Amino acid sequence: MKVKLIIALLFIIFLLGCTEMTQSEKNLCYSLTNRSYDSIPPCTTEESCYKKVDALFETSLLYEQENNIYEMKNSIARSWFYYNKAIIELKMISIHCQNGSASSIPPSINQLRFYLDHSFSELDTGMKQSFEIINFQEQRLTYEKIDLLKEEPLYESLIELRQILSELENGKTNSNSYVAFYLEKVEEFNKSNPSDYKPLIDKRPFWLSTYYQLNEHILENAGLGKNGYFPFFGNYLNEAFQYLEYKIYTTESIQSLQSFPASEFMRLYSNLGGETNSSLEIFKDLLNRTSKSYSLVKTNQKELVMEVQDLQTKGNELLFELEENPTAIYLKSILLNGKILTKREYKDRLILLKENLIMLNEKRGSGNLALGEDVSILKQMKLDYQKIIKEFKENISNENELIKSACDIKANEIKDEVKNKTELLEYVTELNYLAKRTLSSDSSKLTYCKQLVLTNEEYVLGLKDYEELKSKKIELTQTCFASVATIFEYRSFPELQNLFNELKKTPVTSENLFFFEDACEKIKSQLQTQILSEEKIKELIKNFENLKIIVNEIELNQIYFENTKFEKLSAKLTKTTLEFESIIYFKGEINLEGILPVLFELDNKIKTLYGEATNEYDKQIINFVSKNLEISFIDDFVPMAGTNISTKKSIIFNNPFHEIKKQTLIETTLDGELISTDPSILSFQNGKALFNFLPKGKTQLKIVSNEMIGLIEENTSLTTTNKTSIVQRILSLDSKTAFSKIIISTKKPFGTTKTILFKQGTQYAHSQNDLNIIFVGPIDFKEKLVVYFYILGLLSTNIKEISNNNSESGKIIQLEIKITNNSNQSQIATITLPFNYNNMVLSTTLYDEEQAKIKTSINGDDLVLKNQHFLPKQSKLYRLTVKISNIFEYYQIELLKAQTILKNYNENDLVNEISEFLSFVPDARYEQSAKALLKKAQKRIEEIGQEQIDIQSQIAITNQLEQKINELEENIKQAKKLKLKNIEELEQLIVSAKLAISSNDNKEILQSLANLEGYSFQIDEELTSSLNEMWEEITKNNISDARLEQIKNNFLKNKEKFETTIHHNPKEAFLIYKQLQKDYDLFIQTLALVEKENQFSLDESQQKIKSLKEKIWELLNLLEVELDVGVAKMIQNKFIPPITKSRLEKIKVELIAVDTLLAKETEDALENIFNELGNALDYIKS
């Protein structure tokens, strides 16, 4: 950047008429042209400079932001390009300096000035663009509610962005931001200036755009936002040039140039725009870091959605595994002092989480959910699910172990407490026995532990108050006797009946009082054991447990169905099930007194209710599957909305609930010819799929069908003005299909100057021609495109000055204003009146054509008329009277405003013209001249605004085409690996597209972009076959295993993604295909592992069954010998046998029947019999 100053030296030498230099002038000239402190990389073309700048930035932000970054990189690249060109010229001048001939220098001077002017201008432009990038990014992240993610690196970036904006507005701090870094260097430069060198690098104002939220989208506001201040180079260099020229002429010595701090200034240039150790480098790091952090949050959001969904499924599965063991719950409350959470409470928590997740998904699907809010809620949901699952696992496994451990501790404590005690000896004996059994048992540990705790409570009570204990035992004995008597009314067990009758005959004394309650409970226990082994009772309990499972599932999932009638049914099912439960269970134990009187009636009611529940639930599941089909376009061309086409489609039936084990018909609203299907589907006709059974999870079929892809357009006028109006158009497809790529074209309203397109709250790239805007990309059938059209001329304004008179207070001007609605719709408009407002305006008065006075308001510099209703094509007349106190001051203010704006646009000629006009002494023609100049300035400002829109549009389209070329060139590499067809056709299209870019012809660029966007790869049959073979191998498996089900669902999900991606994005499809191969290999490996585990489990189970049978027969033989004692003698000896001979005989029959059960059921039944017999023998021997 030093070279601009050399121009001052050399140009002035030339002006002074020097043809030869003195030695001191040669030395100065050479010294100033032969020093370099810059860190600008060498590059010889704009393209090579751009590549060097582009290599610094690694960003993947929103579409509109990437366009901003692209423009900024182009500005910096052009600055580097012009700077390198200037260096070449400078080296030539250095040679002339050495030769000492001033006359040889002038031809290089003009070229050098041209290069440097452009270099400095582009660098200033690039810096301004960088501020706008930061401004937009800060407002976007604020809108995305990143403040909710203080733990994320992205939040740190947001704080840094805000810090920079604050520094631009209010001055530097010690933040070490890229603005603070440069401002500090400027301060150092200004302080280092010699005292006789006057121009300093001063901050100059510029504007930062403001953005506002409109229908959940970020749009640029019409008008400018807050001021920023920054020491740009361009202003300083002009002043430095003028100052040096003045010094040379006044001192008549070029030696005065030595006072200019050239090396410091060159270093300052490097500090701003250099490749390294510069503000640009700090800005680059910030932007790259922000982009990386933003991508990380987006990735986290997607992963969290999947994780929360998986946790929800896991939570539901564990809920069904959770068994409410009354004994464990009781012991936990006594021994662990833990909070008792019931299954009902867990279920309510899961239902609440599920409701919140559904609402979150709906909000996200509508595009009305900020990223930060989404991630914040998902993180909390993940923690909530993890907490519940942790509690589940503790209840299922860990907690049982803790209870068992606590029981052992309690048993040892009681053993120590009753050691050598003689008072209440019966209790002491019983406590020692129960403590021993608690410590030695495993499967029955909790049962013995509960008896131990309860018996110990009675023992402690007896020691404290023996009479109260007696009273309690009498009450318990009476309750037990009544219960046993009731059971004997419905069941006959002669041996137990005889024992009970003998017990009733025995006189009650203080010595045998405690024996009676214990004896009665033992008889009752044996009655329960024998009755519960009856098939009818087992069937009732099984039916009821199945009913509870289905009712729990319905209650957990009813939120998905949004059916008021079904919700009422669910409430009825829950209420009735609880009523049944109160009959079947009492205090967690099976209640035979409640069951036996109504056994057959109760069983029938349970079966009826279960049938009603499953029937209605299945209907809701079928309806859900039908409404939530995943229909995807899988053909090898890009369809266009609004056309009738024949296409290949994939239909995914998603059943996340349970398998329906009967033939089921699912309506799809699509008709077509069946191509392929999964094994569970029998046929597909007239848009209906007939399932042999409806599996849980996902099922796929493929069809060819004809479809009219309708395009629905809804227009809404958001703001209507006589300047720029905004019309919102919502586009949606009248189709149930998800398209991985589709062309959607919609007509632009007349007068459209700018368009912005959003999908799901995010701005998307689109192209346009004279008539239409065109979107090419993916769209789901639920998604909508929202387009905002910025329109000039929706309302037109015609102004006529009626009078212009002087008054005592100044000037009175009357204007007639005609506003015309040029549209075919009625409009409620806001009118900006054609007169700028400033503090020289005394008053304004407005009348309509009916001579009614209308209220106006002031918005910035504008007079505004709101809520004016216009019929289609209607014109309205208004009369505006403006009183101005000082016409000279009025135009001075307005011209200075216009001049400031034009300075920012580098409109130097017009800026100078205004400066010259403002320096004149006002004359009689001042008002007319000022008005004409102001009109000229305002018109140029409007033209520049439109030119910038056109340039930005051209840059955006070119950038879009370049990105598409790069994307497809990458895809070609993968397409060759996948052996896709028609690659040569694409290579030729890319060549044509590159030529279009070189031509800079907008129509050719648009046509090339359309050609590339419409291109589809054709898939090789061999690839299709290999994929289908893998899927067929997976679907023929009929082993039920959660691991296999998960892999299968993942495979189908990736398979569908591959089929919808391969024709348009082989690069992504190649990665998906590799994952499919991994999923398939994992499925085969897991299947082999599951089969091995199942076989091992079966072998182990059969060995255990054999061992249990042998032990049971051994116990049966021992017990038959021990029970050979008369009933009366037993009672006399205060001995109640723990099992009867008839029960032993029945067990022998049960041992034969278990062979007809499944292995697991056989094992469970034998374990129950073994525990029953083992406990009986232990009791007898004790």
- CB contact burial 640-675 (16+ within 10 A = b; e otherwise): bbeeeeebbbbbbbbbbbbebeeebebebebebeee
Six token digits for residue 1063: 């024709």
Query: Which residues make beta-bridge pairs with 229?
Result: 205
Q: How far apart are CA 558 and CA 573, in angstroms?
A: 12
Q: What are phi and psi of 615, to 5 degrees?
A: -65, -50
Six token digits for residue 906: 């580098």
pLDDT at 247: 52
Alpha helices in 979-1063 (DSSP H): 983-999, 1002-1013, 1021-1035, 1042-1061
pTM score above 0.75: no
Q: What radius of gyration do the chain's Cα atoms show?
A: 44
CA distances from 250 to 15, 199, 1039 (A): 14, 16, 100
pLDDT at 249: 47
Q: What are phi and psi of 304, to 5 degrees?
A: -65, -40
Secondary structure string (H, E, C) spanning 1036-1052: CCCCCCHHHHHHHHHHH
Q: How many CB atoms are closer than 10 A to CB 730?
A: 15
Q: How far apart are CA 190 and CA 268, in angstroms?
A: 10
Secondary structure string (H, E, C) spanning 522-563: HHHHHHHHHHHCCHHHHHHHHHHHHHHHHHHHHHHHHHHCCC
pLDDT at 613: 94
Six token digits for residue 60: 């993947």
Q: How far apart are CA 506 and CA 1129, in angstroms?
A: 12
3-state secondary structure of 853: strand
Q: What are phi and psi of 691, to 5 degrees?
A: -95, 135
3-state secondary structure of 117: helix
Query: Which residues make beta-bridge pairs with 862?
Result: 859
- The residue length of the chain stands at 1182
Instruction: State the Cα angle at 267 between 262 and 272, rounded to 5°.
Output: 125
3-state secondary structure of 521: helix
Q: Per-10-residue mean pLDDT for the chain, 1182 residues long?
A: 47 47 63 62 86 89 80 89 82 69 59 73 84 87 92 92 84 76 76 57 60 49 52 61 52 48 62 84 92 92 90 82 77 75 78 86 79 93 91 72 90 92 87 91 87 92 90 88 91 88 79 79 89 90 92 87 86 91 86 91 94 94 92 84 87 91 90 88 92 91 88 85 85 85 90 82 76 86 84 88 83 91 89 78 87 82 85 93 85 83 78 86 83 87 73 71 83 80 82 82 76 77 83 84 86 85 82 90 92 85 86 84 63 68 81 74 83 80 66
Q: Edge to edge, what strands does the sheet with 862-870 contain? A: 827-833, 862-870, 857-859
Q: How far apart are CA 853 and CA 861, in angstroms?
A: 22
pLDDT at 158: 92
Beta-strand pair 737-747/724-734: unpaired
pLDDT at 1029: 87
The DSSP letter of residue 832 is E
Beta strands in 7-155, from DSSP E residues, in sequence order: none
Q: For the residues of 36-52, what is the DSSP string, one character each?
A: ----PPP-SSHHHHHHH
3-state secondary structure of 567: helix
Query: Which residues make beta-bridge pairs with 1018?
Result: 981
What residue has token string 């069937």? 539
Q: Does residue 155 contact residue 171 with C-beta atoms inside 8 Å?
A: no
Q: How many CB atoms are closer than 10 A to CB 234?
A: 17
Considering Cα of 732, then 735, then 740, then 744, what sign does the dihedral take? negative
Q: Does residue 860 contact residue 841 with C-beta atoms inside 8 Å?
A: no
Six token digits for residue 157: 């970036």
Angle between helices 63-99 and 262-273 (to 10 degrees): 160
Q: How far apart are CA 167 and CA 282, in angstroms?
A: 15
Q: How many CB atoms are closer than 10 A to CB 941?
A: 16
